[in-house]
A and B are shown apart, each in its own frame.
Chain A
Amino acid sequence: EPEVTQTPSHQVTQMGQEVILRCVPISNHLYFYWYRQILGQKVEFLVSFYNNEISEKSEIFDDQFSVERPDGSNFTLKIRSTKLEDSAMYFCASERGTSSDSQYFGPGTRLLVL
């Protein structure tokens, strides 16, 4: 069964450093998402991406965040200058885009900013 994959599984970085989180969505899916989950809290939407552009973003997704689909398979989330409060699990999700489909999540990247 196809699944969403994410790398790395864990990332530790210093405050102010740039990080890139990578995702490979399910191959025939057209919509891509990033969510995050701070420890002990609920999953929060960050950004959605369709047709090579951002379709929606949350207040969390400020100028320090960017997304890119550099080729036909990868979908990346970049945080330019990490802050302590960026520490969280980051989940990528993809969706085929038909009316009867839902989003399928990757295993997540645990980001720790020191």
Chain B
Amino acid sequence: GESVGLHLPTLSVQEGDNSIINCAYSNSASDYFIWYKQESGKGPQFIIDIRSNMDKRQGQRVTVLLNKTVKHLSLQIAATQPGDSAVYFCAEPSGGGNKLTFGTGTQLKVEL
């Protein structure tokens, strides 16, 4: 079935290093993806999105890469800071409407 999922449940990085969080999807017709950050006890916070007509999009300290050939999505965080510690979800609209299907999430831990 269609799914959006993540490769690794936990990622630990040193402060100042770059982080790469991965996501795989199975529906080759998917054309829009979103990354959310969820800090403990808070709601998902929109980080960045990308459409399938792009393979890269940059924001402030974040870059999303889309590889449609292997149906893979990644979120790169430059110069990771303690405030980046959170669970990161990729998500996509599914089912013909706008409802979002979330992956299981990757816990990013930033070590000082």
Contact = CB atoms under 8 A, between A and B. Distances in A.
Interface of A: 4, 31, 33, 35, 41-45, 48, 55-56, 58, 91, 93, 95, 102-108, 110
B43 A91 contact: yes
Interface residues of B, number: 22
A103 B99 CA distance: 9
B89 A42 contact: yes
Contacts of A103: 34, 46, 98, 100
Interface in B66-112: 89, 91, 95, 97-105
Q: Main SS of the interface on chain A?
A: strand
A41 B102 CA distance: 10
Given A33-B99, A48-B97, A95-B98, A105 B104 contact: no
Contacts of B42: 107-108
Contacts of B99: 33, 45, 48, 56, 58
8 contacts: A42-B103, A43-B38, A43-B100, A48-B98, A105-B36, A107-B43, A108-B41, A110-B41
Nearest to A91: B43
A45 B89 contact: no
B15 interface: no
B97 A105 contact: no
A9 B29 CA distance: 38
A110 B50 CA distance: 31
Contacts of B100: 33, 35, 43, 45, 93, 103
B49 A102 contact: yes
Contacts of B102: 42-44
Contacts of B49: 102
